[in-house]
Structure 1
């Protein structure tokens, strides 16, 4: 069996540039680096390549979701969304939002602004960091991941005003979580992000709109699209079928209750 070719920083830069990521670009990155294959220098190299592409005027955002924690300290609570996100949140100059279950970390021009007040709005809803990023003309980069990890789809659900937004993933989880550390407060959670197992259907809609640029990097597919295109495609899909993004697992509290509410 042939060994996988090592991915270098320069090859990453060339790949990102070919997708349209350049100086001044604003983007959110969802990543599963293991699907790309071996990278010389690991996740730090991927992050360095992205930052070099977007330059000082660009903005890089990553999800640093923690999901089911009972308390949140933005300075020490680790991200549960991959090694790239954990490395970025620890970088000098990085800012992390105060949302206790679905925080983001950002670095670059406007990082503090995009994270500001995240704990006062729905995690992935209107006026959340991903919504703000999309309104700024920002994009979504899927590194070795499919659209089940494309969190901007949740923003589209909010704009489509689907009737299941208030249904939690787990009804037994607390609806208020304390934030500790240098800032101390309690955050009420509402319109929590739901299941994303059915989000893969959005890819066909995006490709019909010619909204996706993609290429292979190492062994994995990398996809690039504008956040506003994701939101618009999601809204179009949900206006045709309000249950389109609900999974069929009867054990999924959110989706099964959502289907009941929609009479499905």
Structure 2
């Protein structure tokens, strides 16, 4: 579904009315679950403020649940092995960090792929992340959502960004081909996790393998299926899609070709190295 582009006049609207108009037009259910991934630069250049934008999103989802990534994969490392849900900053942009510090009531306990949230299902979706030794395991919000069968309830919203930042796509990778898309078991890393109450636990993690991935292909696939809801304010795109449908598409793609996320393989050129190896962070 393509929604007409909103012109420059819309940039003069306050964030609350603009966000509400966009989400209503994209038919995002306000009583469902919405995970937002955002590159805020374009909106910032139009005078938007991250705090007002977060407030508008929270207000729209007041009867549902709002989630944003709060990742710290290059901050919490074997050299700095402590994750504190109260103070570890996220590296997923100013909107996510503003949401974490000023709006979120919950933060999942995970050293690299933490998620923040507020609303009806926040505790359910975020309380079990530390039960898994991978970023997107069964107890992660992605695993829980993937196992839930309520249709048309859970949506991903990409603001000024594409599917390259959509964390949910990693969930099928971990299920279908963990030995390709996760670091080898012998490369597991040990961390200390501190929750919002100050309780500390030990955690062993298999990180995602540091491979170049082609996630943009799913934008093309979903668009061809008519499964994308598209709009824009000036030059900033808003892309919404059903998260479970997205994951089903990814599961199907990887089940047919487990190397489908490797660009060279996906484009028919093959790959030189199909084995996993331990690689330091930053390489």
Q: Which residue of 2 aligns with 1:60?
A: 66
Conserved in 2, the CA contact under 8 Å of 1:59 and 1:109? yes
Conserved in 1, the CA contact under 8 Å of 2:107 and 2:115? yes
Q: Secondary structure at the match of 2:117?
A: strand
Task: Give the superposed CA RMSD.
Answer: 2.6
Q: Which residue of 2 aligns with 1:139?
A: 155
1:68-83 matches, within 5 Å, as 68=74, 69=76, 70=80, 71-83=82-94
How far is the alpha carbon of 1:90 from its aligned partner? 1.5
Q: Which residue of 2 aligns with 1:89?
A: 100
How far is the alpha carbon of 1:239 from its aligned partner? 2.4
Q: Which residue of 1 aligns with 2:35?
A: 28
Q: Which residue of 1 aligns with 2:45?
A: 38
TM-score (norm: length of structure 2) = 0.78
Distance 1:21 1:196 in 2: 31
Tell me the alpha carbon deviations over residues 89-120 of structure 1, each in whole angstroms, 9 at most, x when there is no partner: 12255211111111110011121221112011
Conserved in 1, the CA contact under 8 Å of 2:228 and 2:239? yes
Conserved in 2, the CA contact under 8 Å of 1:88 and 1:94? no
Q: Which residue of 1 aligns with 2:26?
A: 19
Decide which of 154, 159, 176 is 2:190's aligned counterpart. 176
Q: Which residue of 1 aligns with 2:245?
A: 229
Conserved in 2, the CA contact under 8 Å of 1:195 and 1:247? no
Q: Which residue of 1 aligns with 2:166?
A: 150
Q: Which residue of 1 aligns with 2:202?
A: 186
How far is the alpha carbon of 1:13 from its aligned partner? 1.3
How far is the alpha carbon of 1:125 from its aligned partner? 3.0
- CA gap 1:206/1:98 in 2 versus in 1, 3 angstroms: same
1:244-255 matches, within 5 Å, as 244-248=260-264
Distance 1:25 1:193 in 2: 32
How far is the alpha carbon of 1:28 from its aligned partner? 0.7
1:103 aligns with 2:126: no
Q: Which runs of 5+ in 2 are unaligned?
A: 1-7, 266-270, 277-283
- CA gap 1:45/1:37 in 2 versus in 1, 3 angstroms: same
How far is the alpha carbon of 1:240 from its aligned partner? 2.7
- CA gap 1:211/1:194 in 2 versus in 1, 3 angstroms: farther
Conserved in 1, the CA contact under 8 Å of 2:42 and 2:236? yes
1:113 aligns with 2:124: yes
How far is the alpha carbon of 1:166 from its aligned partner? 3.0
Tell me the alpha carbon deviations over residues 113-145 of structure 1, each in whole angstroms, 9 at most, x when there is no partner: 211120111212333112323535311110110
Conserved in 1, the CA contact under 8 Å of 2:128 and 2:139? no
Distance 2:54 2:204 in 1: 33
Distance 1:86 1:194 in 2: 24
Conserved in 2, the CA contact under 8 Å of 1:98 and 1:118? yes
Instruction: Give the aligned length.
Output: 248
How far is the alpha carbon of 1:162 from its aligned partner? 5.3
Q: Which runs of 5+ in 1 are unaligned?
A: 250-254
1:211 aligns with 2:227: yes
Distance 1:24 1:47 in 2: 17
